[in-house]
Homo-oligomer: A and B are copies of this chain.
Amino acid sequence: MCDTCGCETRGVRTIDVNERLLASNSSTAEHNRQHFIARRTFAINLMGTPGAGKTALLEATIGRWRSNQRIAVVEGDQATARDSARIRSAGASAVQVETGLGCHLDAAQVHRALHGVELGEGDLLFIENVGNLVCPALFDLGEHLRVVVTSPTEGVDKPLKYPPMFRAADIVVLNKCDLLEHVPFQLEEWTSYVFATNPNATIIRTSALTGDGIDGWLREIEKRRSGLMMEKAG
């Protein structure tokens, strides 16, 4: 009851709506998974806040990837094709998805984008989600691996304050480690919060700007990719 006018609060039944959206999304995600299996492609959903360095990490990845497998990227942004242009300049193919008001990529958008991507056995597909530490965590895209990219400038407490994203992640990349000396950020405290939220997370420290840590990131991706390929072959 409201003390100004005595009316009942008109709550929005957001949860019911979300459940219907998520059920529909899950069935399309399952369909995407069949695409990836049919093409024997390894798919990675890259999430994180705007400006965490997701595109810069992809540029560094494309520039150093020594495998004979190709990389393709589905780029999600509310507006502009700037990121897909950066990806193409770095040497990979890219499909831009502009979401307009949308806050995340859903499985149907990825499904449509897949038809514009050439992928074959052992290739890598990165899906760079809309910059958002909240909504993308809820939407299965059919991917094999979920990565959240974060940075020391975001402060130590984000794993505690945004638990769905950090729980959803297989790998947590702490990017922009070149800034560690310039910001108030306690690495041990942050690490303890990541593991308190998700004990199974793998943490990788990088600087896409200087290249530090990129080799470790590439090794981890290759380990996961070849693991999947062997599993499918076995």
Contact = CB atoms under 8 A, between A and B. Distances in A.
Given A51-B153, A133-B50, A133-B132, A79 B162 contact: yes
Contacts of A27: 10
Interface in A158-191: 158, 160-164, 176, 179, 182-184
Instruction: Count this chain's copies in the assembly.
Output: 2
Identify which of A18, A115, A154 gathers the most chain B CB atoms within 10 Å of its CB: A154
Interface stretch (A104-112, A198-206, A212-220): A104-112
Interface stretch (A30-38, A63-71, A226-234): A30-38
Identify which of A3, A5, A112, A155 gathers the most chain B CB atoms within 10 Å of its CB: A155
B135 A103 contact: yes
Interface of A: 2-5, 7, 9-12, 14-15, 17-18, 21, 24-25, 27-28, 31, 34-35, 38, 49-51, 77-80, 82-83, 101-103, 106, 108, 111-112, 115, 130-135, 138, 151, 153-155, 157-158, 160-164, 176, 179, 182-184, 209
Nearest to A138: B101
Given A101-B164, A103-B135, 7 more contacts: A2-B111, A5-B34, A10-B24, A10-B27, A79-B161, A135-B135, A182-B182
